[in-house]
Amino acid sequence: MDTDVDVLVVGSGPVGATFARELHEAAPHLTILMVEAGPRLTDGVGANVRNLDLEDRRCVQRRATAWTGQTTSDTGRADGHLASRPGTFLVRTADVSGDDQTGMPAAAMSANVGGMAAHWTCACPRPGGSERIAFLGAAFDKAFDRAIDLLNVTNAAFPATEASQRLLQKLSTVFDRGRPPDRRVQPMPLACTPTGQSLPHWSGVDTILGQQQRLTIVPDTVCRRLLHRDGLVYAALLAGRHTGETHTVQVRAVAVAADALRTPQLLWASGIRPPALGKHLNDQPQIVSALALRENGVTTPPGPARETADRRDLLTGVLWIPFHEPDFPFHTQVMQVGTTPIDVPGAAVLDRPVVTWGRFTTKEIRPEDRVEFSDTDLDDFGMPRMSIHYGLTERDRATITRAKRDMVAQAEAVGDFFPGSQPRLLPAGSSLHYQGTVRMGQSHDGASVCDPHSRVWGFHNLYIGGNGVIPTATACNPTATAVALAVIAAGHLTAKLER
């Protein structure tokens, strides 16, 4: 490993990859070292494991989290307990017999090359209205266009079928009135390449990196601490995950893209503790349900053989009902499936096409919703142990009640809920879309961690990235937004380094 690099990128998820790609493209001579706490899972650099055959995929997913001893499950539950989704592990194992909205019991993370994007489902909607970071103005739209380019986002992931067109029409009748064209019901923008077959090729970090030449990725290596003086990070302490062996690398700049929980963890461990660090933690309350469509005869009925498949492979299309204020402060995904990725009693024998009808709502942002770090206890990676303090407000509960009620009323146009599959709120943390913990702000007023270029306040060469930087209450899937913010940050960093 180099002992002297231009830029150290911490974390190999889509945001770390965006820093690497953008820096390389703008200044190919820069040396970039990327460290990743977890292992390499596939031959391709951070490829999406959903492109693998089922057996290989299961094997890789098990390898990603076997060390935790936790159970994973597509439905988020196993044996009556919370389980993380394949490829992720829970921050802490918790029994949610009590209030599953307090303390964020379903909070989870990935540790592998490619980050969560080795496992993600690739929805990349554009934020609208109050989801947007107003002070970034047109710069955000330009960066978002670049993000969808990097992620290879398309609205044509699935071939249109008679059934999908009919569903689109039905939903449009219910939702489109009063919306501008770009906020009407439409196929979900998905990060993938259509293949002409039933399933597309899903994007991962390999898609973002492209043919990146001068990047070294070192797996199983934890960045334990950033060494800094007078607002300049000059070195980083790296440790072998399994060997514990440490060494120091000299840097000209650092980009920390270690997710919304571990980016503040590294800053904390490094003694960089601005007042807003870890605060304003913001998850998206997630409501799920499943419907049998009323029209029959188009989708193959689910049969017993399919039950052994990864149910996400049974997708035949995803529709998007965009967030649109004031009437619809929700983000809705309608997934057409042969059978369903959530537990639906009776779905396996029902001979009608199924859609899952899921909704994210916004959360009221409060500083007291936060992740904290211990000064004495360490986690499995040798980093300060985290604890999460989190709860819903009265306003959140009212928003969730409204979201559920509207789902029931609006579903009427489409089909019938399966018994037991009426809209239900998942345990807090289920969305995997944690935001706000290293939030961006317009001024250095103590309520934010970084400036509009994602540079940590008070530092010349320390940039951060990921969903944690997003300061607004969003309902849409956040990764494309986080990638867009990293595009802006990388542009700023390149200009500084080149000066």
Catalog residues that contact ligand FAD under the rule CB under 6 A.
10-16, 35-38, 85, 87-88, 110-112, 115-117, 119-123, 222-223, 257-259, 262, 266, 432, 466-467, 477-479, 482
Closer residue to ligand FAD, CB minimum distance, 89 or 328 = 89
Residue with tokens 């990921």: 466
Radius of gyration of the chain (CA): 22
Q: From 194, 33, 17, select the one nearest 117 (Cα to Cα).
A: 17
- Establish whether 433 is a catalytic residue: yes
Determine the length of the chain: 499
What does the alpha-carbon distance between residue 469 and residue 485 come to, in Å, rounded to a whole number? 8
Give me the least distance between CB of 207 and ligand FAD, in Å please.
13
What does the alpha-carbon distance between residue 477 and residue 420 come to, in Å, rounded to a whole number? 26
Closer residue to ligand FAD, CB minimum distance, 85 or 279 = 85
Q: From 415, 419, 416, 293, select the one nearest 352 (Cα to Cα).
A: 293
CA distances from 60 to 69, 318, 377 (A): 15, 26, 30
Closer residue to ligand FAD, CB minimum distance, 16 or 415 = 16
By three-state DSSP, how is residue 406 classified? helix
Give me the least distance between CB of 50 and ligand FAD, in Å please.
9
Give me the least distance between CB of 134 and ligand FAD, in Å please.
21
Give me the least distance between CB of 37 and ligand FAD, in Å please.
4
Give me the least distance between CB of 423 and ligand FAD, in Å please.
20
Give me the least distance between CB of 487 and ligand FAD, in Å please.
13
Give me the least distance between CB of 254 and ligand FAD, in Å please.
11
Q: What are phi and psi of 171, to 5 degrees?
A: -65, -40
Among the options 280, 324, 433, 453, which is catalytic?
433
Closer residue to ligand FAD, CB minimum distance, 233 or 292 = 233
What does the alpha-carbon distance between residue 341 and residue 43 come to, in Å, rounded to a whole number? 28
- 365: tokens are 């942002």
> Which residues, at least 6 apart from 101, have a Cβ–Cβ distance to it below 8 Å?
285, 391, 392, 425, 427, 428
Beta strands in 450-494 (DSSP E): 462-464
Closer residue to ligand FAD, CB minimum distance, 279 or 433 = 433
Bridge partners (DSSP) listed for residue 372: 387
Closer residue to ligand FAD, CB minimum distance, 278 or 415 = 278
Closer residue to ligand FAD, CB minimum distance, 221 or 339 = 221
What does the alpha-carbon distance between residue 106 and residue 87 come to, in Å, rounded to a whole number? 14
Give me the least distance between CB of 478 and ligand FAD, in Å please.
5
The residues assigned a catalytic role are 433
